[in-house]
Structure 1
Amino acid sequence: MMPSPLEIAASITTAASVWLAARNNVHTWWIGVVGCVLYGWVFFDARLYADVTLQGFFIVSSMAGWLNWLRGAQGAPVAVRRTRLPHAVALAALSVLVAIAYAAVLHRFTDAWNPWLDSLVLTFSVLAQFLLMGRRLENWFAWLLVNTIAVPLYFARELYLSAGLYLVFWCNAWYGLYRWRQELAEAAPDGVAVAA
C-alpha cells in the first residue's frame, strides 16, 4: 500500500523538525507544529486516537517550547541540562500509570486498534516533549523508548512510511543524545554537569 500524500507531507515536515531538535535548533518548534497538524489527520484515519490526542498536545507544547528556548523563565535562553535520577524515575513511573489508565479508557469506549501500545507512545511522548521543552538531556532516552514502540505499531497499521520515519527518528535520538552530551561537556569542562 502506497503512503498517502498527507502521510508523505507529515513525514517530511516532522523529519525536519526532529532533525533540528537533535541539532538544538529553535526552528524545530514551528516546523513541528505543521507536522503535528498533518499527523493528527493521518492518525485519525488510522484509528490511533491516542496519537491524535498526542498531536494536539504537541501543537500546544511546541508553542511553549519555542518561547522557553528563546526566552526561558528569566528572559534568557535555557541551556542543555540533566535531570536528577529520582525525578526522572518518578516521571517514568507516572507515565506508565497514565498510559494504563488511558489505555483502559480507549479499550472500553473506542474502537482503538491497540490502545495499550498507543497509550504508551502517547504518555512517553508527552514526557519526552516536556523534557525537550526544558532542554533536558534525558528527553532522548524517552524518545528512544517511544520510537522503539512506534515503529512496529505503525508498521502493523500499514503506515509503512511513518514506521520507516520513526526508525530514522530512533537513529536521530541517538544522534541527539550524542550532540547534547557534547554540549554539556563543553559547558562544564570540569566534568560536573548541572542537574536540576
Structure 2
Amino acid sequence: MTSLNWLDSEAFAVVGQHITWSDLIGNLIGLLALALGWRRSIWTWPAQFASGVVLVAAYASAELGGGVGKQLLVIGVALWGWRQWTLGRQRAQDGSVAVRFATWKERGLLAGAAVVGTLAVGGLFTLYPSLSWSPWADAYIFVGTLVAMVAQARGLVEFWFAWLLVDVVGVPLAFSSGLAFSGLVYVVYLVLVLWGMRDWWLRSRTPVLEGAPA
C-alpha cells in the first residue's frame, strides 16, 4: 500500500464501469487543457503537465511501466510547448498567441512524424504486449496526441485536425472496449475540437503585431 494507491481507488461507477480517481482527475484536467488551448491561454500547458503527472502517479502505483513512459513523454512535450509560448514574440492584436496554418513543408513533417512514430511505437507495443492492451490503436492515439501537442506549441491550426484524427479512432475504440466513461470524454473532446478548430481558423486570418512583448 502506497500513498498513491488512492488514485487507483474507485470514485464512482457509471453504466457498469468503475471509474478510478486517476481516470476522473486526469480526464477532467485534460478537458480543461483543451478548453484553454481553444482560448489560446498559456495555462493550457500547465494543465497538460498536471494531467500527465496525475497519470504518471496512477500508472506507477499500478506498476504499468508502459503507461509511465508514455506520460513522461507527454509531460516533456508539455514543458517544451509551455516554453515555446512563453518565449514567443508574435502576438495577435488582442494580445493572445498568434495562430496560423502550417506550410506544406511543416504539414509533411508532421504527417511523416505521425506515420513513422506510429509504426515504431506500434511495433514496440507488439513486441512487448505488456506495454499496451491494443498495440496499434494505442500507438496511433499516443503518437497523434504528441503530434497535436507539437503543432499546438507552434500555433498551427492543424493542431485541431490532428486531435480530430485522434478522436475518430478514440471514440469508437473506447465504446467498443466497454470504456463508456472514456468514450464520453472523447465525445466532449470532439465537440471542443470542432469549436476550437473554427475559432483558430478565424484567428489565423487576424493580423499579428510584430515585436509585441511576450
| Fold equivalence (TM over 0.5) | yes
Give secondary structure in 2 for the equivalent of 1:169: helix
Q: Is the contact between residue 90 and residue 98 of structure 2 (CA under 8 Å) also seen in structure 1?
A: no
| Alignment match of 1:161 (pick from 172, 181, 201) | 181
1:33 deviates by 1.1
Unmatched tracts of structure 2, length 5 or more: 1-16, 92-96, 209-214
Q: What's the CA shift string for 1:11-57, capped at 9, x where partnerless?
A: 211111111101111111111111112234556759794x6543222
Root-mean-square deviation (Å)? 2.5
Unmatched tracts of structure 1, length 5 or more: 189-196
Give secondary structure in 2 for the equivalent of 1:2: strand
What is residue 171 of structure 1 aligned with on the other side?
Answer: 191
Give the helix-richer structure, 1 or 2.
1
What is residue 203 of structure 2 aligned with on the other side?
Answer: 183
Matches within 5 A, 1:65-104: 65-72=81-88, 79-104=98-123
Query: In 2, Cα distance between the equivalents of 1:174 and 1:129?
Result: 16
Q: TM-score, normalised by structure 1?
A: 0.82
Give secondary structure in 2 for the equivalent of 1:173: helix
What is residue 194 of structure 1 aligned with on the other side?
Answer: none
Compared with structure 1, are the counterparts of its residues 187 and 52 closer, same or farther at alpha carbon in structure 2 (3 Å cutoff)? farther
Task: Please tell me whether Structure 1 or Structure 2 has the larger radius of gyration of its CA atoms.
Answer: 2
The percent identity for this pair of structures is 23
Matches within 5 A, 1:44-63: 49=66, 52-63=68-79
Compared with structure 1, are the counterparts of its residues 31 and 43 closer, same or farther at alpha carbon in structure 2 (3 Å cutoff)? same
Q: Is the contact between residue 9 and residue 38 of structure 1 (CA under 8 Å) also seen in structure 2?
A: yes
What is residue 124 of structure 2 aligned with on the other side?
Answer: 105
